[in-house]
Amino acid sequence: MLLSVVYVQKRYTVMQYFSVLLLTLGVVVFMLGDARGKASFDFRGLTLILSGSLAEALAANVEEKRLFNMLGCMPSEVVLYSNLIGCAWALIADSLNGDLARAIQHSQNHPETILFIVIAGVAGFVAQSVALVIIKHFGATTAEAVKSCRKILTMTISFIIFGKPWSWHHVCGGFLFSMSIVVDRCGSMGKSRRFAALLFGCSILTSIFLLCTLQVPPRYRVVIDAGTMGTRLHVFCFDGWTSKLVDIRGHGQIFKTTEPGLASFSASNNGTLAGTLTPLLDAAVAAVPPAQRRMTKLTIRATFSVQQMQPQQSQYLLQQVESLVDLFGFDDRSVEFLNGAEEAELAWLTVNFLKDTFHPGVQGVRKPVSALDLGGGSMKLAFLVSDASAEAARHAQLSKHVGHLELPYGSGYANLFARNFLENGMITSRTRSCEAKYGIPAKHPCLPDSVVVALGSTSKRLSAQGMFNLSSCVTLVQQLLCASSSSCPLVGAWPGYEGIGPRISLTSYFVDRMLDVGAVQDGHPDWQLTVGNFSQQASTACDATSKGLPVLRQSYPTLSEQSVAWLCFDLTFQAAILIYGLNLTHDQPINLEKKIKYEGQLYEVSWALGEAIRGLKERVS
């Protein structure tokens, strides 16, 4: 409007200025409702938006004055040449930054995208032609006002199609939008003023009704981890509009655990099953308000131990759990198995959500964190890969480890490498190290001399006697680490592999063993070390182990005999994972984490939060 006054030399009335001001404010406030809590302010973005708006306003006024008024061009003529020039610029830019070749390759791999591009192109042609006709006959300012109305209409339709909740921003923005029409019509006479009066009254009544019925309640999610050693309850609360975590009665989350795990139950002790699960479900009922309970998704995920039961026994157990949970009034009471790769994916979601990695917009993921969890039974690894690297992984027979993951906040999709290493858990690796195929049914090179250990299940009880030898210990660890995969590194080898990234989060036994040796102090939510710290601690522990159990116990007086005996093996194995298994350098920084601080509250680093985040995208019936 201002450019048309200066450049086209148009004149507007005070009512028209006021109408456009209200329209602009209405669009801004309405759009803020959709961006509230989902966008971060950045001056660079503001500069780009202002530059783009100025360029669009200048183009519209040039089209009105030069192309239509002075030269008498046809709208279709302007569309043709402007798109030809834009195509040339796009080809030059895409060729220089390397996107052109990737785009052609992507279209060859996914020819269905060409159809969607054609449909989008046709729709864009129609929209651009209509906009130019409005500019030619009514002026650039009117055309921009019509486009602003289109934006409001598009957002309004999205509430109907997607069932989105509205906020007071939407109500106020819609009211300002209506008032801009009222002011514009008030400048006219006769029926226009009567229409303005009718629209004003309807807008007042509609806005009052929407504000009175406006409520976006928080969304609760209940996740029960049916693990090997225990059963754990997690209750999370998310803001109803922004989907960010909020505290529950001053706590980041409700966390409660009981023993034993589900795998210890059978058809003969259902009473004990109810006695174990009922306190957890009672805690969930106490945490979730009654009005929210029927809308709250409750998920029970059974891990590896339950899956190892006899199929008939496990199915019967899960049916009993479902029958018990049904009594507590939650929605979508699902009991499902959780495989290792899925656990790795959910753990990655948890860590990156708590570290504020996800953002809406073009850069949906900023500074992603790779997640490496060393459990007792297995090791889980997940990290982000580019489109090109994901495609190369599929050609290298690694497609089953690369998935297309939907990100939180509607920030798009990403390729995630997620893999579960069943034989590389800490306890599993200890057990494997005592097997006869490694030549040590009697003498173990990583244990103190003469110390005897026994481990394994009752059906597969193993024992070994220590006879420490450092070089043999390192060789044994490397065999254990790489024997279960085709080669090291553990992720396999494929063209274009970029590594697991500069930000790495280690959990479970990585944290526990560093606490045991005093490399980190308890009482902190997370710690930052380097890969070299693991090598150093392994060297120190193995040096003490070489001097015998009494010296080793004296060096680590707080540890039990069983725990201290395995110290050299555990730390050497962990260092080998980072150095040989993942090709990390000694100066690579890493984070050890048991909890992560988010919005002033501490949250457990667990796949359970990832499950709750993923459940937010599913509409509750």
Residue 197 resides in a domain = yes
Q: State pTM to two decimals.
A: 0.70
- Give residue-wise pLDDT tens across range 336-369: 788 888 889 999 999 999 998 887 665 678 889 9
Over range 412-421, report the average pLDDT: 87
Domain co-membership, 249 together with 348: yes
- Give residue-wise pLDDT tens across range 40-87: 567 787 788 888 888 888 888 888 788 878 888 888 888 888 888 888
Residue 524 resides in a domain = no
- Give residue-wise pLDDT tens across range 388-407: 888 887 777 777 888 888 88
Domain co-membership, 209 together with 223: no
The domain boundary, picked from 165, 195, 213, lies at 213
The domain boundary, picked from 213, 238, 267, lies at 213
Structure tokens at 340: 């290792």
Residue 580 resides in a domain = no
Q: CB count, 10 Å around CB of 92?
A: 11
- Give residue-wise pLDDT tens across range 126-137: 888 888 888 778
Domain co-membership, 205 together with 228: no
Q: Are 369 and 352 in contact (CB under 8 A)?
A: yes
| Average pLDDT of the chain to the nearest whole number | 81
Residue 443 resides in a domain = no
Q: Any idea which of 27-36, 256-265, 285-294, 307-316 has the lowest mean pLDDT?
A: 307-316
* CA neighbor of 478 nearest in space, from 566, 580, 376: 580
Domain co-membership, 26 together with 152: yes
Domain co-membership, 235 together with 196: no
Q: What is the DSSP string of 103-114?
A: HHHHHHH-THHH
Give the pLDDT confidence score for residue 619 in this predicted structure: 38
Q: Are 587 and 531 in contact (CB under 8 A)?
A: yes
Q: Are 610 and 345 in contact (CB under 8 A)?
A: yes
Domain co-membership, 232 together with 359: yes
Residue 8 resides in a domain = yes
Domain co-membership, 277 together with 203: no
Q: Are 177 and 191 in contact (CB under 8 A)?
A: no
Residue 183 resides in a domain = yes
Evaluate if residue 104 carries a pLDDT over 80: yes
Helix pair angle (567-576, 470-483), 10° resolution? 50
391: containing domain:
219-421+600-616
Handedness of CA 521, 525, 531, 535 (dihedral sign): positive
Domain co-membership, 237 together with 163: no
Tell the burial category of 149 from Cβ atoms under 10 Å away from its Cβ (0-12, 13-18, 19+).
middle
Q: Are 261 and 227 in contact (CB under 8 A)?
A: yes
Domain co-membership, 273 together with 292: yes
Domain co-membership, 234 together with 198: no
Over range 542-557, report the average pLDDT: 93
Q: Are 182 and 200 in contact (CB under 8 A)?
A: yes
68-77, 103-112, 588-597: range with highest mean pLDDT: 588-597
**How many domains, in total, are found in the chain?**
2
Evaluate if residue 267 carries a pLDDT over 50: no
Structure tokens at 410: 């509607």
The domain boundary, picked from 180, 213, 246, lies at 213
Domain co-membership, 163 together with 228: no
Q: Please name the residues in contact with 349: beta carbons below 8 A apart, sequence gap of 6 or more.
A: 405, 408, 609, 610, 613, 614
- Give residue-wise pLDDT tens across range 158-179: 766 665 666 777 788 888 888 8
Domain co-membership, 44 together with 8: yes
Residue 439 resides in a domain = no
Residue 436 resides in a domain = no
What's the CATH code of the domain at 269? Answer: 3.30.420.40
